[in-house]
Structure 1
């Protein structure tokens, strides 16, 4: 048997960005990989996630010159934990690298659902789908027949929100995106009833009014800024806004002005609530129980925007920030042909 590799390729952040990040803000490095201790395992990463929240991490949350953080799916290739058998597929947060040493307490061994691809745990069954599900069910409390508006509708959370809103009984689903091609994708493939290109005139409010002439009940906000203002203007009484993100300001250096019609929240009895999906981990099982049957039946497909090759991780991240992805942006490292061990055992003699 070949000795396990004791290095990992990783991306680090070299400097803080000014506005939109550029490739020179990152560095690809080769780092030593320490052998796993008791309760740990070595994971060969198969899929990496790149997400909008990472842009904010670049401003201070991420330590310079250290491997970056991100959601990942990998296969255990060496283990000192009975909970992480060799061959198991696991979800963890040691992304932006090819291999990682992980602690059993911080890793989820993924369930195997027949007919469901493991990479869906970075998409509809992962943080992206969970964000959309929590936004619709817990924050906006979607009711059957509601008219739903989703901004950045062709992105990861946006595509998930459109699919889930339909399954949850929404009456009309409207989305905004950044190109005519994405608008066609939303209405022709992703189940949106209407969509518009927010970069084409005559302004967001007028476009939204034409797409939802009777108003909206629920807004899933991934953008903020002018999109939030337009949504407030189109809201019916007792509307609900689930604020997931604010991509409009991530590279701006400062927050945009508050919506000029913010007082309409009072006049229309509108409820606006922001949330972090990390505080709703208890909804994961609920999401899987609801969505897996639809994935198995083919009623719902998980649209992933796949970039091939670890060396293109930064390209995938920057492209996602520019809105080049349709669906959840992920990176495939090319090892997913590996098969699990037929009789996996801890490889460090750890049996308790």
Structure 2
């Protein structure tokens, strides 16, 4: 086994959106596991936009610790047990990504069963979308569903989930014509509105002439504003992200103000609720079972953009923020 490994540390708090210069790829000794810890050789880890909030210093109500200069980045990772109280060679899921070797506590490791056909699929971000569409918005047969940020880690799965739950028409939003084509050709979206195209109100009126019944919102901002205008009576809005705030150069990632027409909310009986997985502890296992069944049946795809190796890892978050990923962004070691 190697005696050293590579990891990514935060060099400084970004001034605006993070750049590769805000991170350092560091060589360090492979850590020795302490009592109760497991030595894991990571094989994949997830790049997620919430890191922007953690390093921006606005972590109120966030169940993860802030990132300060000198800290190693972290996040969901998959690896193989090398040493410790768990079975050697076993694949586990834990939260010490952004390094080649990790030492999570055994109680912080989840041994991976064969519920999903590919271990990497455990990094999919579909649980929140599934929970929101079954617990908050509750898709009904024939619904028209609008998914904002449809080309992201949540959105690429959300549209497929909505269809599998009975939606008749699924509309997405994205900022790239190329991504819009992929959403329609590969993931079954019926129409896609472009963030930088004509006014979103106009695009939604054309894409959903009969209005929208459900909104699965990962963005906020003007897209959420426009969705209220296009909503049918009794529409259900489920909020699962706030990328408009997290990816804004003028904010630190802990706020995302949006203008909503409260008159329309009242007169159309629209409901809006934020989804928090901790409020629905039964969702994760249910989602995983259904996700595995859908994957095996070829009814759903798990799209992700692979970043190869630790050398490219310092660029991974800036690439994600710049919109250079389709689906989840995963570093492969």
Is contact 1:178–1:198 with CA below 8 Å preserved after alignment? yes
* 2:191 counterpart residue number: 194
Alpha-carbon distance, 1:229 to partner? 0.4
* 2:274 counterpart residue number: 274
* 1:71 counterpart residue number: 76
CA distance in 2, matches of 1:196, 1:225: 15
Alpha-carbon distance, 1:34 to partner? 3.5
Give the 3-state SS of the residue equivalent to 1:102 in structure 2: coil
Alpha-carbon distance, 1:256 to partner? 5.8
Is contact 1:6–1:35 with CA below 8 Å preserved after alignment? no
Give the 3-state SS of the residue equivalent to 2:104 in structure 1: strand
Is contact 1:232–1:262 with CA below 8 Å preserved after alignment? no
Could you tell me the TM-score, scaled by structure 1's length? 0.87
* 1:181 counterpart residue number: 178
Change (3 A) 1:262 1:20: farther
Give the 3-state SS of the residue equivalent to 1:263 in structure 2: helix
Give the 3-state SS of the residue equivalent to 1:209 in structure 2: helix
Q: Of the candidates 45, 55, 62, which is equivalent to residue 58 of structure 1?
A: 55
Cα offsets for 1:124-158 (capped at 9, x unmatched):
xxxx1111111211121222211100011011100
* 1:122 counterpart residue number: 123
Report the more deviating stretch, 86-95 or 269-278: 269-278
* 1:107 counterpart residue number: 109
User: Unaligned regions of 5+ residues in structure 2, if any?
Assistant: 58-65
Cα RMSD for the two superposed structures: 1.6
Alpha-carbon distance, 1:113 to partner? 4.1
* 1:92 counterpart residue number: 94
Alpha-carbon distance, 1:279 to partner? 4.5
Alpha-carbon distance, 1:18 to partner? 1.9
* 1:314 counterpart residue number: 314
Q: Of the candidates 217, 220, 238, which is equivalent to residue 221 of structure 1?
A: 217
* 1:246 counterpart residue number: 242
Is contact 1:220–1:241 with CA below 8 Å preserved after alignment? yes
Could you tell me the TM-score, scaled by structure 2's length? 0.92
CA distance in 1, matches of 2:232, 2:238: 15
CA distance in 2, matches of 1:297, 1:36: 40
Q: Of the candidates 201, 204, 207, which is equivalent to residue 200 of structure 2?
A: 204
Cα offsets for 1:136-184 (capped at 9, x unmatched):
1112122221110001101110001011111111111000111111111
Cα offsets for 1:60-94 (capped at 9, x unmatched):
21122011111100011112x1xx21000000000
Cα offsets for 1:257-311 (capped at 9, x unmatched):
5315133222211111113335444311101221211111222221111111112
CA distance in 2, matches of 1:155, 1:133: 15
Is contact 1:72–1:95 with CA below 8 Å preserved after alignment? yes
Give the 3-state SS of the residue equivalent to 2:128 in structure 1: helix
Is contact 1:47–1:330 with CA below 8 Å preserved after alignment? yes
Is contact 1:162–1:190 with CA below 8 Å preserved after alignment? yes
Change (3 A) 1:53 1:200: same
User: Unaligned regions of 5+ residues in structure 1, if any?
Assistant: 334-352
CA distance in 2, matches of 1:276, 1:62: 22
Alpha-carbon distance, 1:252 to partner? 3.6
* 1:163 counterpart residue number: 160
Structure with greater Cα Rg: 1
CA distance in 2, matches of 1:296, 1:74: 23
* 2:9 counterpart residue number: 12
Alpha-carbon distance, 1:245 to partner? 1.3
